[in-house]
A and B are shown apart, each in its own frame.
Chain A
C-alpha cells in the first residue's frame, strides 16, 4: 500500500510536527453540517474524476498524486504547513512542485493539481484509466480534510500545563476549563498524551476568534502554581513563529546620520544664550541670541509648532507640538532630529538625562493598547512603553529621578517605580502605600519623598526612601495636618515640607516649614512656624537660603531665611508691603525677583540676598511671566497673549533690575531660554575663578567699554546717515516745490501763500477778548482738606451753605509736574437720597490748580454712569489746602 502510505505520511508528519491543526480537526466534533465541498480543490477534483480527458489523467498519473493532494490542500487551508516540520524527505518534493508549477502545467485544467512526477516507478501503466472517484477512494480522508473556514483563529495553545497521568486528567481539565472559560465558551479541547501522561501543552478552541484573542491577552503569564506559568498563544501565531529563520541575520547597519554638533551654542565666543519666542498668537516661532543691544535672530519659521515649544532639560533639543506628534529639532540650523508619532499629543516631559521623552495624548488610549502616555527613546525614536492614564491634571504624571534611571508614578494607594532602560517595574512590584498623596524625587540622589495624610489614629507622615534598596531613611510623623507640599532644594541638599496644620483648639491654619537636612546623618529636621497665609515658597538654587511670601493682600511681606550649617534657621530679613505673588530665584542663587504677576499689575522687586538690599523696584505692567536666563545674568518679564491681549511684549532686564530692552511683538505668546547642561568645572575650578574674578572683570569691563563706544558710534553714524538721506529727500522736494511756485500763484489768484506772513498787508486787525474759562457755574467758597500720602483726597465743603453735603475729590498728584496739573481720579458726592450714601462718580477731563490764585479749576465731562450732563466748569477760588 504505497499509496496509502503516501497519504498517511504527510498527515502523520504534520500531526507530529504541528501538533495541532489536523488533530484539532480530527478531534473536533464533526464539521458543521451543510459544509461546502473543499473549495481549493473540489471542483477540479470532480472534473478530473468524472469527465476529464484521459490525456490529462494519464499525464498526471492518478495514483500516487492524488494522495499528495490532501497535504498540499492542507497547506493551503491551514497556511501552517510550509516549514512546519519537514515531512519525510522523499515526500516533500512532490507536493511542493505541484503547487508551484501549477499555472503552466495542466492544460485545460483549472487547477493543475497533478504535477509531473520525478519518479516513474510509482506511475501506472500508460493505458490505465482510473475509474474510481476520489470520493470513493479516499472518502474517509477527505472527510477530515482541512477546511479554510474551520476556525483555527479560535484556537489557542497553552504551554506549561502540568503533565498528569490519566488519573488526574479530569481534574486538570476542570481547572483549565475554569480558567479559560472566563474568556468565552470553549468548544473543544485537546490534551496530547505521551507515555500515559499529558505532554504539558494543550489546545483549546473557542466559539469565536475574539475570545481566543482575549484569552491570549489575559491568560498569558497566568501563574497556576510555582512551577507552572501558562504561556498562551494563538494557534495561528505559530505559523509566524515557525517562519522565523534559524539563522541570525546580522541587522543591517544603519547609516550614521551626522546631526552636527548639537551643542554648538555652548561654544559661542561671547557666551550668549539663546531663547525661543512664539508670537503672532503662535503662528511664528523664532530663536534668538540674547544680546545686550538687540536680540539677534537665528531662525524664524512660520507654523513651526501648533501649540507651544519646549526645550529639553540640557538644551539639546527643541520640541514642537503637532496634531500628529512631537518633533525634535537641534543643531546649528535647527534641523529635524527625531519625530514621535502620537496623535493629539498635549503634554510632554523629558527625562533629566535627555534619553527619554514622555508624551501624553488623551485621544489614543484603548483598553487593550495603552497609548495615553508613551515613553520614547529619543536617540532611536522607538516607542519604549505605553501606559494608561485617566487624567493629566497633575502633569508630569511620571516623575524622573535626577539621573533618569528611575521614574515613578502615583496611583490610588500605590507608588509604582519603573527602571530604565527596561521600562519595567522595579523589582517587579509597586509599593503599596495606602493614602499616598504626593511624592517627589530628590534632585540630588535616588531618594524619593512622599507623604500620607492622617488616618484615624495614625499620624500623617513624610517618608524618605532610598532607591533601589527601598530603605526608609527617614520617617517624620506630623499631626493635625491639612496639607503638605514638598520642596526640594535644587541640589537635593535640603527638603522643605510645607505643612499646613490646624493645631487643636484653634481655628486658623498654621504653616510649618519642616526643613530636612539631607546631607547629614539621620537627616535632622528643623521647623519654622508661620501664622500668616503663605503665598509662595522657594529655595535658593545652589544655596541654603529660602524665601517666603506671606500675609494677606495688600499687606504682603517677604522673609528670607538661612539654614546655617549647625542647623539653626535664621531669619535674615523681612520686607513688608510687597507687591508680589511669586518668587523667582536666579539659577545661580543670591539674586531674586519678587514679582506681582497678572492681578498685581506686574510689580517687580530685584533683591540681592547676600546683604538683603532691594536693588531696584520696577514694573512691567500686566506681566504674566518671569524667566531667568540659565546663567543668572538676565531676566525676562513678559506679557503673554495667552493671558492678556494687549501690550504683548517681553522686556529684558539685568539681574540688578536695569531695563535693557523692550521687545514688542505682535501677539507675543511665550519666551523660553535654552537651558544649559550642568557645568563641567569642578568645585575647585569654580572657586579659583571666583578668586580671580577681579582679573576677569577688568577684561570684561574693557570689552564692554569698547562695545559701548562702538555701539554709540554706530548709533551716531546711523542717525547721521538717516538725517543725510532725509535732508537729501527734503531738498529734492523743496526744489520741486520752488519750481511750482508760479503755478501756485496762478491758482490762488496771485496771492503768495507760501509763508504765513507773505501777504501780511491783507491782514485785518481784530480785537479778541481773552477768557480763560468758558463758563463758570456755581462758585461757592469751598473748604478743602488734602490728605498727605498717596492719592490726594480733597474734601470740598460749601461754606455758604454748610448744610450742603461735602464732596470728595480723589486726585493723583503727579510729582514731576509740580502742582500745576493733577489727574482727577474721581469725585464722590453723596447722592440725593435722604440719609443715603448714594455715590456719583464724575470724571473730569482736566483739573488745574492755579497755584498763585489758590484757585482750582474743575471741568466736568459728564458722569461715568452714562447720564450725560452738560459740560460745566467749576472754579474754586481761594481753595485753602491743608495737608
Chain B
C-alpha cells in the first residue's frame, strides 16, 4: 500500500485528527493554516483562515458540524466545518494548548499555557448558551497551578476531562464541578499526547520519558506500558485490533546534529496486551509529531516534521506473531489485512 502525502503546511505539524466517520482529516501546524482533507485520496478540501500564530490543537464534533482550533495567537476559534466560517473567537491570555468537544458536541473545553505571567487554565463553554461565547465567559474555569497541562481529552460521556501534565501527572477533572476526581502519576516526564480508544473506555498516553502507557479512562488505572528509546510524541490505538502505534523520535532541536538513523523516526507498532513491538514503518526524516488511526482501522497516519505524510498503514501482522518486531521491515506492517 502506498502512502499518500499531503502538502499544505509550511511548518511542522502539531496535530492531526479524523472526524468520527473518517472521511475528513484535519491538520494543524505551526503555521496559522488549518487544513481539511479528504482522507480517501488526500485532496485538500479547504482551509480555515483566521489564526495568526501556530495552531496547537484541533477537534471536530461528532457530527462534523463544528471544528475547534486553539492557537498560540491566544485564541480558540470555532468554525463551521462545511463553510469555513468562523463562528466564535474566544480570546485568552496565553496560548491555547489543547481543545475538544464533549461527547454530545455541546460543551467545549480548552486549556491555556502557563505563559507571560498567566497561569494554566482549563475553560469550559456551553455552546447552547450563546451569552457565554459572546461575553467570553466560560461557565467554569479550572486553575492549574503546579504543572501545566500539555494534553487533554474529554472522558467518556463528557462527564470529565483527562489531562496530562508537564511533570507527567494525569488528572481527571470533573466537567461539572471542576474538582480533581482522580490523580495518578505514572510518567516521569511531560505527557505529549492522549488519545482515546474508539469506545472511549481506555486511552493511551505518549510521554517524553520514552514510554507510552495504556490507562482505563474511568479509573485512570494503569494497564500497559510500551517502551522505546526515544521520546514519544504521539500514540494512537487501533480501532479494530489490539494494536497501538507510537510516533516520536529524537527531539527536533537535536535532529540537525544527528543522522536520521540515530533519530529513530519510525512509527512503531506494539501489541496492546503483550507490550511487544511487532513492526515499524520507516520513511520519516524528522520526528513524528502526531499519529492517528482512521476510524475504520484500515489506515493510519503519522504526521511528522514539515511535510505531511499520510501513511496508509497497518492493521496487519497477526497479533500472535510478534516475530517482525525489531526487524524494521516495514513491509510487514504495510500489507493490509494479512493474518487473522
Q: Residues of A at under 8 Å CB distance from B?
A: 621-622, 646-647, 649, 664, 719, 722-723, 725-727, 729, 733-734, 736-737, 740, 743-744, 747-749, 751, 753-754, 756, 768-771, 774-775, 816-817, 821, 823, 843, 845-846, 848, 859, 861-862, 868, 870-871, 873
Contacts and interface: CB of A to CB of B under 8 A. Distances in A.
A722 B273 contact: yes
A756 B5 contact: no
A737 B41 contact: no
B274 to A, nearest CB: 6
A817 B2 CA distance: 12
B329 interface: yes
B262 A647 contact: yes
B318 interface: no
A737 B5 contact: no
Interface in B249-299: 250, 258, 261-262, 272-275, 283, 285, 295-296
B115 interface: no
B218 interface: yes
B43 A861 contact: no
B157 A753 contact: no
B158 interface: yes
Contacts of A843: 285
20 contacts: A622-B262, A646-B262, A719-B274, A722-B274, A726-B224, A736-B218, A737-B201, A748-B63, A756-B295, A774-B7, A775-B7, A816-B331, A845-B5, A845-B285, A846-B5, A846-B283, A859-B307, A870-B10, A871-B7, A873-B7
Contacts of B201: 733-734, 736-737
Interface in B1-53: 2-3, 5-7, 10, 20-22, 38, 40-44
B242 interface: yes
A747 B261 contact: no
B105 interface: yes
B126 interface: no
A812 to B, nearest CB: 11
Contact of A747 (B157, B306, B307): B157
Contact of B3 (A816, A846, A870): A846
Given A646-B250, A771-B41, A859-B307, A751 B5 contact: no
B29 to A, nearest CB: 12
A823 B63 CA distance: 40
B306 A845 contact: yes
Given A622-B262, A740-B156, A846-B283, A747 B103 contact: yes
A769 B157 contact: no
Contacts of B275: 722
A774 B283 CA distance: 20
A870 B9 CA distance: 10
A756 B223 CA distance: 27
Contacts of A754: 199
Contact of B309 (A727, A734, A821, A846): A846
A813 to B, nearest CB: 14
What's the dominant secondary structure at chain A's contact region? mixed
Nearest to A817: B331
Given A737-B199, A748-B105, A726 B272 contact: yes
Contacts of A719: 273-274
Given A647-B262, A722-B274, A756-B22, A768 B283 contact: no
A753 B273 contact: no
A744 B157 contact: yes
B118 interface: no
B43 A771 contact: yes
Interface in B193-251: 199-202, 216, 218, 223-224, 229, 242, 250
Interface residues of B, number: 51
A764 B270 CA distance: 36
A848 B2 contact: yes
B40 A747 contact: no
Contacts of A749: 104
A621 B296 contact: no
Contacts of B40: 768
Contacts of A756: 21-22, 295-296
Contact of B261 (A621, A744, A748, A873): A621
Task: Sort A-B residue pairs by CB-CB distance and give the 8 closest, nearest first.
Answer: A747-B104, A733-B201, A726-B273, A845-B307, A871-B7, A861-B307, A770-B41, A723-B273
Contacts of A753: 20, 62
A881 B103 CA distance: 55
A821 B20 contact: no
Nearest to A729: B223
Given A729-B223, A733-B202, A621 B262 contact: yes
A856 to B, nearest CB: 14
Given A733-B202, A871-B7, A845 B309 contact: yes
Contacts of A821: 283
A759 B202 CA distance: 24
Interface in B58-78: 62-63
A870 B11 CA distance: 11
Nearest to A861: B307
B255 to A, nearest CB: 11
**Which of A621, A726, A769: most chain B CB closer than 10 A?**
A726
A747 B157 CA distance: 8
A433 B229 CA distance: 56
A768 B229 contact: no
B290 to A, nearest CB: 16
B299 to A, nearest CB: 13
Given A740-B156, A845-B306, A768 B262 contact: no
Nearest to B4: A772
A871 B63 CA distance: 33
Given A647-B229, A768-B41, A859-B5, A733 B274 contact: no
Contacts of B43: 768-769, 771, 774
A736 B216 CA distance: 12
Contacts of B309: 845-846
A864 to B, nearest CB: 9
Contacts of A722: 273-275
Contacts of A845: 5, 285, 306-307, 309
A664 B277 CA distance: 15
Contacts of B285: 843, 845, 861
Contacts of A816: 329, 331
Interface string B61-98: 01100000000000000000000000000000000000
A581 to B, nearest CB: 20
B79 to A, nearest CB: 20
